[in-house]
């Protein structure tokens, strides 16, 4: 299978899941997760129309970002950081990322705020939720997410736009529906409980294995790796 064919097939599935849940397919953003591939495959992805790229490690993100800032013909439209981010590495990506999906502590949010101020920009972030409670997973426990959102109120250089999760790896993606439903409810809770101006519009959830279910439950961003490159 070529990348182009994979993109077409994923687009069809997005369309079908959106229709099934009476949603507009154009409101679902597909992020190509390129952590396992190099720049030539990223170029193929761009040529196939996927221009939003996600990386999960700073040391992989930087060389790819540099490559495409020099490449004049084709470059990603947006760069997403989706992996666990150490505080001491925030400074390397702060002026390069469009959205950080994986903010999992108040300390990390504070560092992003500090660096964003220095860079003179407002950085969009998502709060990563450990929705399944697995001990192997990063993320804020659902019971603490409201407090986390409230703590962000006085950080002027970060903008909380929604929530992100990684659901468990399961044989039958139906099993993850319950987690995606919980995510959507949490997003609404934050929107209604927090008095300050929080626009919780994004739900980054759904990967190769379970994105159809995630879309049915309200995902606005899906993060796809394996299904693009296999």
Ligand X SMILES: *Cc1c(COP(=O)(O)O)cnc(C)c1O
Interface ranges with ligand X (CB under 6 A):
33, 35, 56, 82-83, 166, 207-209, 223-227
Nearer CB in complex with ligand X: 65/229: 229
Q: Which residue is nearest to ligand X (CB)?
A: 225
Name the minimum Å distance from CB 38 to ligand X: 15
Q: How far is the CB of 118 from ligand X (least distance, A)?
A: 27
Looking at the Cβ atoms of 100 and 166, the one nearer to ligand X is 166
CB nearer ligand X, residue 209 or residue 212 = 209
Residues of 158-176 as b/e, b for ≥16 C-beta within 10 angstroms? Answer: bbbbbbbbbbeeeeebeeb
The least distance separating ligand X from the CB of residue 163, rounded to whole angstroms, comes to 13
What's the closest the beta carbon of residue 150 comes to ligand X, in angstroms? 25
Q: Give the shortest CB-22-to-ligand X separation in angstroms.
A: 25
DSSP labels for the chain? Answer: --HHHHHHHHHHHHHHHHHHTT--GGG-EEEEE-TTS-HHHHHHHHHTT--EEEES-HHHHHHHHHHHHH--S---SEEEE-S---GGGHHHHTTT-SEEEEE-SHHHHHHHHHHHHHHT-PEEEEEEB-TT--TT--SB-GGGHHHHHHHGGG-TTEEEEEEE--PPP-SSGGGGHHHHHHHHHHHHHHHHH--S-----EEE---TTTHHHHHHTT-SEEEESHHHH-
CB nearer to ligand X: give 145 or 224.
224
State which residue, 9 or 226, has the beta carbon closest to ligand X. 226
Of 97 and 224, CB closest to ligand X: 224
Q: How far is the CB of 120 from ligand X (least distance, A)?
A: 28
């Amino acid at each position: 299978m070529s990348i182009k064919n994979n993109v077409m097939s994923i687009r069809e599935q997005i369309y079908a899941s959106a229709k099934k849940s009476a949603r507009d397919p154009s409101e679902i953003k597909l992020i190509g997760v390129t952590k396992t591939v190099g720049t030539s495959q990223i170029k193929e992805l761009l040529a196939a129309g996927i221009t939003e790229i996600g990386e999960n490690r700073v040391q992989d993100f930087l060389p790819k970002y540099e490559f495409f800032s020099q490449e004049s013909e084709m470059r990603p439209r947006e760069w997403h950081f989706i992996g666990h981010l150490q505080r001491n590495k925030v400074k390397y990506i702060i002026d390069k990322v469009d959205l950080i999906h994986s903010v999992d502590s108040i300390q990390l949010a504070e560092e992003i705020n500090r660096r964003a101020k220095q860079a003179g920009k407002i950085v969009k972030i998502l709060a990563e939720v450990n929705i399944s409670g697995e001990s192997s997973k990063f993320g804020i426990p659902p019971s603490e997410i409201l407090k986390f959102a409230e703590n962000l109120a006085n950080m002027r250089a970060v903008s909380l736009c929604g929530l992100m999760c990684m659901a468990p790896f399961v044989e039958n993606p139906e099993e993850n529906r319950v987690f995606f439903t919980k995510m959507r409810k949490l997003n609404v809770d934050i929107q209604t409980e927090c008095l300050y101006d929080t626009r919780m519009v994004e739900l980054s959830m759904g990967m190769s294995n379970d994105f159809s279910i995630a879309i049915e439950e309200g995902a606005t961003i899906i993060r796809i790796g394996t299904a693009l490159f296999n």
